[in-house]
C-alpha cells in the first residue's frame, strides 16, 4: 500500500513544476515510505501539462490528471483526493511558496501523533500587505464562527488521513473550509503546524480580492450545510413555525379588537379589519410560514436521496495505466 500521496493542483505553473518535483524528491530522499505525486492540471493554458507528462515519464511515482477546462482549485483537490491511494494525503500549491521539506513532519504528526488533519500555518507570510491583512481578518472570522482554533484556513499545505479526504466532497470554492467540513464529518483531531512560506518565484497569483467576498459567502454556505444538510426541516420548519405563529397572533388581535368593539367597549372601529396594516402583516406572515414549511418538506425529500459526488470531465491522464499494470 502507498503510504503517502502528494496532491498538487496546477494552473499555469509550467516554470515551477520540475523544480518542485526535484524539491519533493530531495525532501523525501531520507524517508523509507512509498509515495506518489499527483499533479492535477486545472485547465492550464500554458505548457504545464507537457511538463507533467515529461515528469510522469521520467518518474514512476508521478501521476498527472488534466481537466478539459478550468474548474477551480476545489475541483482539482477533489479529483486528486479520489485518485489518491496513500494512507496519508498531503496537499501543497505548485508555485513553490509551500515547502516540501515540511512533508515528513506532517506525515509523522498524522501517523505517530494520531491527528486526522494537520493544517499549515504561514505565520510569517511572504505576501504583500494587501493579501495578508484581509487574510488575517478572514481567518479570524472563520475561526470564531467555526470554533476550530487554527490560524490559516486557506494554507495550501495540509496533511490528512486518507479517511478524511474520502469522506468529504469539495466543490465550488470550498477548499478553504476543508477543516470545517472534516469537523462536520466527525473528524475532530485537527491541529496546525507553523510552516515555512516562500516568496513567489515564477508567475503571479491566480486569486484576486474577490476571493474574500466568495470566501465569506462560502463560509455561510458550509455552516448551513454542515448543520442542516440532513435535517433541513429543523431550519425551515422553525422559521415557518415562528412566522405562522406571528401571523396567527396578529390575526387574533384583529379579531379581538373587533369583538371588543362590538360586545364590550361599544366603541366602533375606525377602520374595518381589511383596511388595517396589521391585517396585511398577518396575511404575509401566514403565507411565508406555509411556504417555509413546504420548503422544509421538499428539502427533507431531497436530503434523503442518495447524492452522487460530482465528476469533473477529465481530458487526459498520464502515468496511471502503466502503474496500474505494474501494481503500483
In a domain, 90, yes or no: yes
Tell me the C-alpha distance between 170 and 185, whole Å: 12
- What CATH number has the domain bearing residue 22? 3.90.550.10
Between CA 158 and CA 8 the distance in angstroms is 11
Residue 317 forms part of a structural domain: no
- What lies within 8 Å, CB to CB, of 273 at 6+ separation is 254, 255, 258, 279
**Per-residue pLDDT at 308 exceeds 50:** no
**245 plus 215 within the same structural domain:** no
Residue 151 domain flag: yes
From edge to edge, which strands make up the β-sheet containing 88-91? 190-194, 117-121, 158-161, 88-91, 4-10, 35-41, 62-67, 314-318
Residues 6+ apart with CB under 8 A from 210: none
3-state secondary structure 107-138: HHHHHCCCCCEEEEECCCCCCCHHHHHHHHHH
Query: Beta strand 314-318 with 158-161: parallel, antiparallel or unpaired?
Result: unpaired
Give domain status of residue 78, yes or no: yes
| 116 shares its domain with 252 | no
Quick one: cell of 209?
A: 480580492
Identify the pLDDT of residue 84.
Answer: 95
Looking at residue 278, its pLDDT comes to 87
78 and 194 housed in the same domain: yes
Yes or no: say if 167 and 78 are a contact pair by the CB < 8 Å rule: no
How many separate domains does the chain show?
A: 2
Q: Are residues 277 and 148 in the same domain?
A: no
Q: How many CB atoms lie within 10 A of CB 24?
A: 22
| Domain that includes residue 254, residue range | 232-303
- Identify whether residues 24 and 160 lie together within a single domain: yes
Considering the domain architecture, whether residues 267 and 129 belong to the same structural domain is answered as no
% pLDDT > 70, the chain:
85
In what helix (H) or strand (E) does residue 102 lie, and over which residues does it extend?
none
User: Given this model, what pLDDT does residue 136 score?
Assistant: 83
Position 315 in a domain: no
98, part of any domain: yes
Q: In the prediction, which pLDDT does 158 show?
A: 97
Are residue 191 and residue 62 in the same domain, yes or no? yes
* Per-residue DSSP letter, 244: H
| Rounded Cα gap, residues 327 and 303, in angstroms | 39
| SS3 category, 11 | coil
Residue range 183-188: mean pLDDT, rounded:
87
Q: How far apart are CA 164 and CA 170, in angstroms?
A: 12
Same domain, 218 and 262: no
CA-to-CA distance for 247 and 279, rounded, in angstroms?
9
Mean of per-residue pLDDT scores for the chain: 85
Please check the confidence at residue 306 and state whether its pLDDT lies above 50.
Answer: no
Amino acid at each position: 500500500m502507498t503510504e503517502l500521496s502528494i496532491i498538487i493542483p496546477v494552473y499555469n505553473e509550467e516554470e515551477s513544476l520540475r523544480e518542485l518535483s526535484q524539491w519533493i524528491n530531495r525532501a523525501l530522499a531520507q524517508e523509507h515510505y512509498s509515495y506518489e505525486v499527483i499533479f492535477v492540471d486545472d485547465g492550464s493554458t500554458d505548457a504545464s501539462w507537457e511538463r507533467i507528462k515529461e515528469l510522469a515519464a521520467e518518474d514512476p511515482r508521478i501521476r498527472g490528471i488534466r481537466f478539459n477546462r478550468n474548474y477551480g482549485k476545489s475541483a482539482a483537490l477533489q479529483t486528486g483526493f479520489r485518485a489518491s491511494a496513500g494512507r496519508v494525503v498531503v496537499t501543497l500549491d505548485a508555485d513553490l511558496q509551500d515547502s516540501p521539506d515540511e512533508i515528513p513532519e506532517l506525515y509523522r504528526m498524522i501517523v505517530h501523533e494520531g491527528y486526522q488533519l494537520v493544517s499549515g500555518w504561514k505565520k510569517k507570510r511572504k505576501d504583500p500587505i494587501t493579501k495578508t491583512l484581509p487574510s488575517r481578518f478572514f481567518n479570524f472570522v472563520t475561526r470564531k464562527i467555526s470554533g476550530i482554533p487554527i490560524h490559516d484556513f486557506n494554507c495550501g499545505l495540509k496533511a490528512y488521513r486518507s479517511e478524511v479526504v474520502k469522506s468529504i466532497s469539495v466543490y465550488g470554492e470550498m477548499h478553504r473550509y476543508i477543516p470545517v467540513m472534516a469537523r462536520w464529518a466527525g473528524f475532530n483531531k485537527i491541529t496546525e503546524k507553523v510552516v515555512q512560506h516562500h516568496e513567489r518565484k515564477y508567475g503571479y497569483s491566480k486569486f484576486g480580492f474577490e476571493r474574500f467576498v466568495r470566501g465569506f459567502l462560502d463560509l455561510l454556505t458550509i455552516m448551513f450545510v454542515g448543520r442542516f444538510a440532513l435535517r433541513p426541516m429543523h431550519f425551515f420548519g422553525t422559521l415557518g413555525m415562528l412566522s405562522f405563529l406571528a401571523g396567527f397572533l396578529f390575526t387574533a388581535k384583529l379579531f379581538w379588537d373587533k369583538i371588543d368593539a362590538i360586545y364590550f367597549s361599544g366603541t366602533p372601529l375606525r377602520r374595518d379589519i381589511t383596511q388595517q396594516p396589521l391585517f396585511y402583516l398577518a396575511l404575509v406572515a401566514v403565507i411565508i410560514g406555509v411556504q417555509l414549511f413546504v420548503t422544509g418538506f421538499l428539502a427533507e425529500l431531497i436530503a434523503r436521496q442518495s447524492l452522487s459526488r460530482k465528476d469533473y470531465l477529465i481530458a487526459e491522464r498520464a502515468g496511471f495505466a502503466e502503474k496500474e499494470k505494474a501494481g503500483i
